[in-house]
Amino acid sequence: MTRFTPRPLRPLLMLSAALALSAHAQAAVFKDPAMQQALEADQDEELLALARARLKTDATDPQGLAATALVGMQDADAAKLEAHALSLQQCVERHPRAAVCHFVLGQVLGSQAMSGGMMKAMTLTGRIKESFQKALALEPQSYEARDALQQFYLMAPGIAGGSTSKARALADEVRESQPEQAQLLRARLLHNDGDTAGAEREINAFTPGRDVALNKAWVQAWLALGLSYLQDKQPGKARAWLEPLTKTQPQSAYGFFGLARVAAAEQRWDESARAFEQARGLEGARALPIDYRLGLMLQTKGDKAQAKAALERYLAGKSPSRRLAEDARKRLAELG
C-alpha cells in the first residue's frame, strides 16, 4: 500500500470497507457477563437496558458508558457522536485503566472521522490510534483491540500514523500465543498486499472455535475476499469462493449476501433476489446493507417500484451508512 499520500481515513472496525458492516465488536469487551452476552447476541435494547441500570447506580461506570456509546453510535448523528466522544473521554480520564472506554472511544472517533470529511478525519487520526493502542496495552489478549489497531495502521495514510510494518508486527506478536488471531490478522495483511491466494490459505486454515469475535471476523474476511473478486470483475471466481461459505456457515447471512451480489452482477435477477431474502433472516443480517443492494439490483433490472421500496426500507432502517444513505436518496430522486 502506498503511504504518505493524504486521503480520508477509511471505516474503522469493519473488516472491509466494501461490506459497510456495523462497527460492533463481539467478544471480551465487557466484564459483565450479561452485557457481553447481549452484545454477542446483537441484542441492543437489552445491552442498553443493562448499561442504564449500571449508570443509575454509578453515573461514571465505564461499562455502562461504553455500552451506551457502542449502541448509540450506530445512527452516526454528528451531535450524538460528539456527546458520546466527550462522555468516553471523561471516562478514560476518570478510569485510565478501563480498556473498554479506550476501545469504544476509538470506535466513536472513527465514526466521526468517517462522517466528517477528510479534514475532520485527519484531525482525529492521532486520537483514534492512541485509543486503540491504549486499549491493547491494557488488554493485550483482546482480539478486538488488536484487530482495530491493525485496521488503523493499514487504512490510515502514513502521515497520520499508518504503517504496514506495524500492522504486520501486530500479527507476529501473537503468532505463538494466539495462533488463531494471527491467522486472521495475516489474512488481512495478505489481502491488503494483493496476495489473494495467500489470504485464501489463511482463511481456509482457520478452524472456528468458541471465540465469537474470531468466528465473526473469519466469516467477514471470507466475504471481503469474495467481494474483492467481484470488484475485480471476476464473478465466477467470486462465486466459487463464496459458495462454500453458505455450506460451512449456513446460519450466517454473509455467504448468501455475497452470492446475491454476484448474481446481481451476472444479471441473474431472480437468483439475486432470493439470496438477498435468504440473507435477511440469518445471523449478521443487520450489519449488511441488504435493502440498499437489493434496491440497486432492482433499479438495474428496471423494476422501479420495487427498487424504490427497497431503498426506502434501507433509509428507514436503524443504522444506514451515511455514504450509502446519500446514494440511496439520490437514486430515489432519479426513480421519481
Residue range 259-306, pLDDT digits in tens? 999 999 999 999 999 999 999 999 989 889 999 999 999 999 999 999
Backbone conformation region of residue 267, classed left if phi is above 0, alpha if psi is from -120 to 50, else beta: left
Average pLDDT of every residue of the chain: 88
| Residue 103 domain flag | yes
For residue 297, the one-letter residue type is: M
Q: What confidence tens digit (pLDDT) does each residue in 34-89 have? A: 999 898 888 889 999 999 999 999 999 999 999 999 998 876 678 889 999 999 99
**Residue 319: HSE in the Cβ half-sphere, 13 Å Cα cutoff:** 18
| Residue 123 domain flag | yes
| Residue 274 domain flag | no
Determine what percent of the chain is predicted with pLDDT higher than 90.
71
Residue 28 pLDDT class (50, 70, 90 cuts): low
- At residue 180, does pLDDT exceed 50? yes
Q: How far is CA 51 from the centre of its chain?
A: 22
- At residue 21, does pLDDT exceed 80? no
What total number of domains does the chain contain? 1
| Residue 72 domain flag | yes
Burial class (CB in 10 A: 0-12, 13-18, 19+), 35: buried
Length of the chain: 336
Residue 74: CATH number of its domain: 1.25.40.10
- Cell 494471527 identifies what position? 182
Which has the closest alpha carbon to 160: 113, 193, 206? 113
Q: CB within 8 A of 231, min separation 6: which ones?
A: 18
Pick 9 or 207 by higher pLDDT: 207
The residue range of the domain holding 57 is 1-169
Residue 141 pLDDT class (50, 70, 90 cuts): very high
For residue 251, the one-letter residue type is: Q
| Residue 12 domain flag | yes
| Residue 209 domain flag | no
Q: How far is CA 140 from the centre of its chain?
A: 21
The partner residues of 252 in beta bridges, in order of sequence, read 283
Residue 121 pLDDT class (50, 70, 90 cuts): confident
| Residue 276 domain flag | no
Which has the closest alpha carbon to 245: 231, 224, 263? 224
Residue 120 pLDDT class (50, 70, 90 cuts): confident
Backbone conformation region of residue 302, classed left if phi is above 0, alpha if psi is from -120 to 50, else beta: left
pLDDT of residue 22: 35
- Give, to the nearest 10 degrees, the angle between helix 253-265 and helix 290-301: 20
| Residue 208 domain flag | no
pTM over 0.75: yes
